[in-house]
Amino acid sequence: MRIATWNVNSITARLPRLTQWLETAQPDVLCLQELKVSDDAFPQQELRALGYESVVSAQGRWNGVAVLSRVGIEDPALGLPGAPEWEGTVEARAAAATCGGVRVWSLYVPNGREIGHPHYEYKLQWLAALRDTAEKFASASTPFAVLGDFNIAPTDADVHDITQFEASTHVTLREREALAALEAAGVSDVYPRPLKYDVPFTYWDYRQLCFPKNRGMRIDLVYGNEAFVTGVSDAFVDREARKGKGASDHAPVVVDLDL
């Protein structure tokens, strides 16, 4: 089974690339983030034509997540249990389904904006709710994974130059402690094998030629329980999907399972 995660940064803008990638990469399950569409505008018909069912949580201009599957969808769920509100709204940042016997959650963790901003505390509260959810599923014999844009680089090595991130979010101790708490709940980081470069970055800013210069970050992550991790036969970042005009600023992370 092939499972992937991809922050597409607007599914409307990226639809031609997405459909092409689905046809070539052939994932059985794909978790999407940052859809930037309403539920009604999600391209269900185009994806169904390629054989994919969808579970979608979208709210218009911002956020939005989905799970696409061509191996069936069971027990769909929208929203992270216990997730905090932001400005009176529970944002569309989590969607789950059991696909081909694997329970997956597509996640778009809040950005945090800047240290000291209320959005930073919101991010930490959201991650605490994620830890509680993972704890409920991690010990099960069913393969289980949380995948998506975590907006956190787990270590200093996961950014191109840590000195450029002093006093910035994504690399702070409290954010990394939240990832450590997630792992303590029973899931492990599925680290992609390096291909062209030593560190498999997943995100590169559009500005200042960051992608050609490989000034990136590894913030799109896959955490799986023991039943999931022991089945991993390969994991990699598809850098080709980040190339060219009209690309998302993130690349897909692909995990192959032998279950």
Q: Which residues are catalytic?
A: 108, 149, 250
Q: Is 250 annotated as a binding residue?
A: yes
As a whole number of angstroms, the distance between CA 231 and CA 241 comes to 25
Q: Is 121 annotated as a binding residue?
A: no
Give the containing element (helix H, strand E) for 57.
Answer: strand 53-57
Distances (CA, A) of 236 to 22, 194, 230, 254: 16, 7, 16, 5
Q: Is 151 annotated as a binding residue?
A: yes
- Tokens found for residue 133: 């959810």
- Tokens found for residue 1: 């089974």
Residue keyed to tokens 């910035």: 168
Residue-wise DSSP of 145-179: EEEEE-S--SSGGGBS-GGGGTT-TTS-HHHHHHH
Q: Is 189 annotated as a binding residue?
A: no
Q: Is 149 annotated as a binding residue?
A: yes
Q: Is 40 annotated as a binding residue?
A: no
Q: Can you say which residues are annotated as belonging to the binding site for Mg(2+)?
A: 7, 34, 149, 151, 249-250
List the binding residues. 7, 34, 149, 151, 249-250
